[in-house]
């Protein structure tokens, strides 16, 4: 599903109206009907509920008038808070206001209300609808609109945002001074970039997508390099398992990980590779770590290796590691390796000589800081999986800089280093060297805990071992990893979620994608590792 900017969405609307012959009124009716349908699913029954709809004077307000009329049909108690006078309305918004008046009357409409009047209305409501501002807003929010947003946010009542939360920039996700905190956002046509980046992630709540009839060919004809991952896309990439399959059919994953005190990272990565279907997994690890690792992951094999006095991989391990990599289908390197100087040299040498598909994470990324030339000469693009702190060290900048510019940083890093970059965080970004970019809707705040990144390394490496191309493996791995976290959170909640919980839910995530499908809703959360 292509992710669009405000300008791109406006162009799609224009073409649909002028070339496909679908009137603006029809698009507005479809949008309003989609919002009401989403409200019914989330907040049923609507009958008898008091719903206050905050409407601006533009097309977003026009959608609000449609919603008011349709809610009236469902016997909800509707109040419309219009932040303008009726004479200020124009075009389709004016027409929808008139239709609402003919069907539901205008006695429930409060025009240009005072702040006290807005507070009085919200206090008596079960639900609020934000139909104030649309995708074209870029100026700071002020005046009556600022008061309305403040009133909604401080009411404690669930708010449903129409297309996007008012006050969120449609392209950057930045707040324009203030913005609605929605429980549910119902967006039309294609996802807007601002719903998936910046502060937009914290303001949208659950996101539902409504098809309002924009021809698919119009979307495909535009140069839109950013997409939202969907179950339908992931399903097409996952390996099939024939009845005649054996363990060799699904590849042999090599995990280079672990040190004294961090053997859990190696265990998580190895188990994750097994849980996504890798036929065989072997962990290369310091000799003193092997016993505890074997006890924790009985299904994986281990290769004990020479170690430093700090119980990390030593230079004497290099010959065996180089042979180890040559006999594996794919490699995951980094979890728990440490930044001990000798081990760092080992890691740099391994990456420079590895001709297998490889996932580079954690301390392997730290080892590459200032030494990234080897990434650009590899026959197969490596997959880098940094969190913002690791990305900052890799690029020699600050974590705040990375967080403020996640999309651009991921795209630039992928291009400069000829690598596939998985920049972890709220709405993980996957960037290809050619500029194509995917954003995953899965993941939640419970995943902001130690070890979940090690699980992701194993997931992607396990998919690579089964023959997926790096670009498909990275996108599939991120989606399944986040979905496993979402399924786990349904049982455990967010606060108590731990990385090991994801391991139990990875098979269920795969089953969900293969057999359930359908576009998954986007839920607010920090997909942290």
Distance of CA 413 to the CA centre of its chain: 19
Asked if residue 342 and residue 420 are part of one domain, the reply reads yes
- The predicted structure's pLDDT at residue 56: 97
Largest CA distance in the chain: 84
In a domain, 269, yes or no: yes
**Residue 379: pLDDT band by 50, 70, 90 thresholds?**
confident
pLDDT digits (tens, 9 = 90+) for 291-341: 999 988 999 999 999 999 999 999 999 999 999 999 999 999 999 999 999
In a domain, 245, yes or no: no
In a domain, 281, yes or no: yes
Asked if residue 141 and residue 59 are part of one domain, the reply reads yes
Bridge partners (DSSP) listed for residue 358: 331
- The predicted structure's pLDDT at residue 519: 43
The Cα 95–Cα 33 span in angstroms is: 16
DSSP for 152-204 reads: HHTS-S-EEEESS-TTB-TTT--BBSB----SEEEEESSPBGGGSSTTHHHH-
- The predicted structure's pLDDT at residue 517: 55
Asked if residue 211 and residue 69 are part of one domain, the reply reads yes
**Residue 289: pLDDT band by 50, 70, 90 thresholds?**
very high
- The predicted structure's pLDDT at residue 522: 42
Q: Does residue 526 carry a pLDDT above 70? A: no
**Burial of residue 74 (number of CB atoms within 10 Å: 0-12, 13-18, 19+):** middle
pLDDT digits (tens, 9 = 90+) for 395-439: 999 999 999 999 999 999 999 999 999 999 999 999 999 999 999
3-state class of 69 per DSSP?
helix
Which residues, 6+ apart, have CB-to-CB distance to 289 below 8 Å? Answer: 258, 259, 260, 263, 266, 311
3-state class of 105 per DSSP?
coil
Place of tokens 């909640």: 493
Total domains present in the chain: 2
Which residues, 6+ apart, have CB-to-CB distance to 8 below 8 Å? Answer: 190, 222, 224
Asked if residue 444 and residue 381 are part of one domain, the reply reads yes
Percent of the chain at pLDDT > 90 equals 92
In a domain, 246, yes or no: no
Which residues, 6+ apart, have CB-to-CB distance to 517 below 8 Å? Answer: 231, 232, 235
CATH number of the domain bearing residue 76: 3.40.50.10260
pLDDT digits (tens, 9 = 90+) for 69-82: 999 999 999 999 99
Instruction: Please state the φ and ψ torsions of residue 258, each to the nearest 5 degrees.
Output: 95, 155
In a domain, 304, yes or no: yes
- The predicted structure's pLDDT at residue 296: 87
Burial 112-129 (b: 16+ CB within 10 A, else e): ebeeeebeebbeebebbb
**Residue 374: pLDDT band by 50, 70, 90 thresholds?**
confident
Could you tell me if 312 and 262 are in contact, meaning their C-beta atoms sit under 8 angstroms apart? no
Asked if residue 268 and residue 415 are part of one domain, the reply reads yes
Which residues, 6+ apart, have CB-to-CB distance to 397 below 8 Å? Answer: none
Q: What is the mean pLDDT of residues 261-277?
A: 97
For the four alpha carbons of 104, 105, 111 and 116, in that order, the dihedral sign comes to negative
Domain ranges, residue 147:
6-224
Distance of CA 6 to the CA centre of its chain: 19
DSSP for 355-402 reads: -S-EEE-HHHHHHTTT--GGGGG-SS--EE---HHHHHHHHTS-HHHH
Count CB-CB contacts under 10 A for residue 139.
Answer: 9
In a domain, 522, yes or no: no
The Cα 304–Cα 314 span in angstroms is: 12
Asked if residue 141 and residue 259 are part of one domain, the reply reads no
In a domain, 523, yes or no: no
Percent of the chain at pLDDT > 70 equals 98
Q: What is the mean pLDDT of residues 99-115?
A: 95
Helices (H), 426-529: 452-465, 470-492, 499-511
Q: What is the mean pLDDT of residues 251-278?
A: 97
Asked if residue 175 and residue 324 are part of one domain, the reply reads no
Q: Does residue 529 carry a pLDDT above 60? A: no
The Cα 101–Cα 80 span in angstroms is: 11
pLDDT digits (tens, 9 = 90+) for 139-192: 999 999 999 999 999 999 999 999 999 999 999 999 999 999 999 999 999 999
Asked if residue 383 and residue 454 are part of one domain, the reply reads yes
In a domain, 495, yes or no: yes
Among 44-53, 89-98, 288-297, 515-524, the minimum mean pLDDT is found in 515-524
- The predicted structure's pLDDT at residue 523: 41
Asked if residue 273 and residue 215 are part of one domain, the reply reads no
**Residue 516: pLDDT band by 50, 70, 90 thresholds?**
confident
Asked if residue 274 and residue 154 are part of one domain, the reply reads no
- The predicted structure's pLDDT at residue 74: 97
Model confidence, pTM:
0.94
Asked if residue 174 and residue 63 are part of one domain, the reply reads yes
Asked if residue 334 and residue 467 are part of one domain, the reply reads yes
Q: Does residue 345 carry a pLDDT above 70? A: yes
Place of tokens 């206090």: 123
CATH number of the domain bearing residue 299: 3.40.1190.20
Q: Which of the pair, 524 or 382, is modelled with greater confidence?
A: 382
């Amino acid at each position: 599903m292509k992710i669009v900017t405000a300008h791109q969405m406006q162009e799609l609307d224009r073409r649909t109206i002028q070339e496909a012959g679908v009137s603006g009124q029809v698009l507005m009716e479809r949008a309003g009907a989609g919002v009401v349908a989403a409200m019914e699913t989330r907040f049923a029954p609507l009958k008898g509920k008091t719903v206050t709809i905050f409407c601006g004077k533009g097309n977003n307000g026009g959608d609000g008038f449609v919603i008011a009329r349709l809610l009236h049909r469902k016997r909800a108690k509707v109040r419309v808070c219009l932040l303008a006078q009726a004479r200020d309305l124009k075009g389709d918004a004016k027409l929808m206001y008139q239709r609402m008046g003919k069907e539901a009357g205008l006695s429930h409409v409060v025009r240009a209300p005072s702040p006290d009047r807005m507070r009085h209305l919200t206090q008596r409501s079960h639900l609020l609808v934000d139909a104030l501002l649309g995708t074209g807003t870029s100026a700071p929010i002020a005046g009556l609109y600022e008061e309305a947003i403040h009133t909604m946010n401080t009411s404690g009542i669930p708010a449903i945002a129409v297309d996007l939360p008012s006050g969120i920039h449609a392209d950057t996700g930045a707040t324009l001074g203030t913005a609605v905190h929605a429980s549910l956002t119902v967006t039309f046509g294609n996802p807007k970039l601002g719903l998936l980046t910046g502060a937009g992630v914290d303001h949208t709540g659950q996101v539902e997508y409504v098809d309002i009839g924009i021809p698919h060919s119009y979307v495909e004809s535009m140069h839109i390099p950013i997409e939202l991952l969907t179950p339908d896309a992931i399903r097409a990439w996952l390996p099939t398992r024939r009845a005649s399959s054996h363990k060799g059919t699904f590849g042999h994953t090599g995990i280079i990980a672990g040190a004294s005190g961090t053997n859990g990272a190696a265990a998580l990565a190895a188990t994750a590779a097994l849980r996504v279907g890798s036929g065989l997994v072997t962990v290369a690890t310091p000799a003193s770590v092997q016993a505890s690792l074997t006890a924790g992951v009985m299904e994986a094999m281990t290769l004990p290796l020479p170690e430093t006095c700090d119980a990390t991989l030593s230079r004497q391990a290099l010959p065996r590691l180089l042979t180890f990599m040559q006999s594996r289908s794919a490699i995951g390197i980094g979890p728990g390796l440490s930044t001990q100087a000798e081990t760092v040299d080992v890691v740099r040498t391994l990456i420079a000589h590895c001709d297998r598909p490889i996932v580079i994470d954690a301390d392997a990324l730290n080892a590459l800081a200032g030494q990234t030339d080897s990434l650009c000469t590899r026959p197969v693009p490596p997959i880098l999986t940094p969190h913002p702190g690791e990305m900052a060290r890799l690029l020699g900048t600050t974590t705040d800089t990375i967080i403020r510019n996640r999309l651009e940083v991921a795209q630039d890093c992928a291009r400069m280093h000829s690598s596939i970059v998985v920049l972890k965080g709220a709405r993980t970004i996957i960037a290809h060297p050619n500029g194509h970019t995917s954003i995953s809707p899965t993941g939640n705040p419970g995943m902001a805990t130690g070890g979940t990144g090690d699980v992701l390394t194993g997931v992607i490496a396990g998919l690579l071992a089964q023959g997926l191309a790096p670009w498909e493996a990275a996108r599939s791995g991120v989606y399944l990893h986040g979905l496993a976290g979402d399924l786990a959170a349904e049982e455990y909640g967010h606060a108590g979620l731990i990385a090991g919980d994801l391991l139990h839910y990875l098979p269920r995530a795969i089953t969900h994608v293969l057999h359930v499908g359908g576009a998954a809703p986007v839920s607010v959360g920090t997909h942290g590792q």
